[in-house]
């Protein structure tokens, strides 16, 4: 669709768009560019990879990276399984309570999610005698990313015809077989996209994590955040550029799978 007859001063709009995209992208591009600067100050000296080397000599960053990876993988498995099942269940029959709760969980401010899960864990620990740790972070991440998974998988389900399952059952398949062999294969791209989304959401989260993490479960965003609060450092530029690159690759994979 075009609006050929509708002519606003076109060059101005084009110029504006240029400035708009520059505003959106230049901060991240300069951030990444200065991660290759040999000086620790914001004056360009010469090209260097020393800040990337510094990442791998910082035990806190490495531990955070490890913890974040473990948490993201476990939380993704948890939320992708529950979210996919939920989307399929809702496709079969609507449930206003579950749908409402999913949307409410999406609009809940992160800090409120964080403190309410903290309150739950502390309350449960009074009887159990456990402590905050990696597994509380995994539960928290799994809990808040379920809504994202449901939305992505439900979007995919809308392209699937319910008659296919009915046809399979008319031909003698059980309800379970119809799901497993007819609907599930059609959902795979949506499930992969949802899992990658859950992975990035978990890997990125600081606010909720900082409330429910134990002393031994510092994640990468928590380490970066503590460094950033102390002041900027080229090491953060380097790790930021790395995270952006890894996220970018994950999203590219997700787009490819979704289009397939």
Partner 1 sequence: MKLRSWFLLPAWLWLAALFAAPLAIVLSYSFLSRGAFGGIEFPWTWESYQRLFDPLYLAIFFRSAVMAAAATLGCLLLAFPAALFISRARRRKYLYLQLVLLPFWTSFLVRTYAWLFLLRDTGLINTVLQSAGIIHRPLPLLYNSGAVLLGLVYGYLPFMVLPIYATLERLDPALLEAAADLGARPWAALFRVVVPLSRPGIAAGSILVFIPCLGAYLTPDLLGGGRIVLVGNLVQNQFTTARDWPFGSAVSILLMALVTLAAWRYLRREAGDLL
55 counts as binding partner 1 under rule CB under 8 A: no
Residue 134-173 contact track with partner 1, rule CB under 8 A, x = bound: -----x--xx--x---xx--xx------------------
Side-chain-facing half-sphere of 228: CA atoms under 13 Å? 12
Taking alpha carbons only, the member of 107, 121, 108, 189 closest to residue 156 is 189
Q: Could you tell me the smallest distance in angstroms from the CB atom of residue 2 to partner 1?
A: 6
Token pair belonging to 126 = 């009074």
Rounded to the nearest whole angstrom, what is the least distance from the CB of residue 62 to partner 1 in the complex? 18
Q: How far is the C-alpha of 238 from the C-alpha of 50, rounded, in Å? A: 9
125 binds partner 1 (CB under 8 A): no
Tell me the DSSP string of 148-172.
Answer: HHHHHHHHHHTTS-HHHHHHHHHTT
| 42 is an interface residue for partner 1 by CB under 8 A | yes
- Tell me if 211 contacts partner 1 by CB under 8 A: yes
User: What is the rounded distance in angstroms from the CA atom of residue 52 to the CA atom of residue 237?
Assistant: 9
Least distance (Å) between residue 217 CB and partner 1: 16
Q: How many residues bind partner 1 (CB under 8 A)?
A: 95
State which of residues 82, 134, 173, 257 lies at the interface with partner 1 (CB under 8 A). 82
Contact 27/229 with Cβ under 8 angstroms? no
Judged by CB under 8 A, the residue of 54, 62, 70, 90 near partner 1 is: 90
Task: Give the integer Cα–Cα distance in Å for 97 and 82.
Answer: 16
Regarding 181 and contact with partner 1 (CB under 8 A), the answer is no
Q: Is position 101 an interface residue for partner 1 (rule: CB under 8 A)?
A: yes
């Amino acid at each position: 669709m075009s609006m050929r007859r509708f002519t606003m001063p076109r060059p101005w709009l084009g110029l504006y768009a240029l400035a708009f995209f520059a505003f959106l992208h230049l901060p991240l591009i300069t951030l990444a560019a200065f991660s290759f600067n040999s000086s620790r100050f914001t004056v360009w000296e010469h090209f260097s990879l020393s800040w990337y080397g510094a990442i791998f000599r910082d035990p806190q960053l490495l531990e955070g990276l490890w913890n974040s990876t473990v948490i993201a993988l476990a939380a993704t498995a948890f939320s992708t399984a529950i979210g996919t099942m939920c989307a399929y269940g809702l496709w079969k029959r609507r449930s206003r309570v579950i749908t409402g709760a999913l949307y409410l969980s999406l609009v809940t401010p992160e800090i409120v999610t964080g403190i309410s899960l903290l309150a739950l864990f502390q309350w449960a620990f009074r009887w159990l005698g456990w402590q905050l740790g990696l597994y509380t972070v995994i539960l928290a991440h799994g809990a808040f990313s379920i809504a994202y998974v449901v939305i992505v998988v439900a979007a995919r389900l809308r392209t699937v015809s319910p008659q296919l399952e009915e046809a399979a059952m008319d031909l003698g398949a059980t309800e379970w077989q119809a799901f497993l062999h007819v609907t599930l294969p059609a959902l795979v791209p949506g499930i992969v996209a949802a899992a990658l989304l859950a992975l990035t959401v978990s890997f990125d989260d600081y606010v909720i994590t900082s409330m429910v993490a134990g002393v031994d479960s510092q994640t990468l965003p928590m380490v970066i955040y503590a460094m950033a609060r102390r002041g900027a450092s080229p090491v953060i530029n380097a790790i930021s550029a790395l995270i952006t690159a890894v996220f970018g690759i994950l999203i590219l994979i997700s787009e490819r799978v979704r289009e397939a």
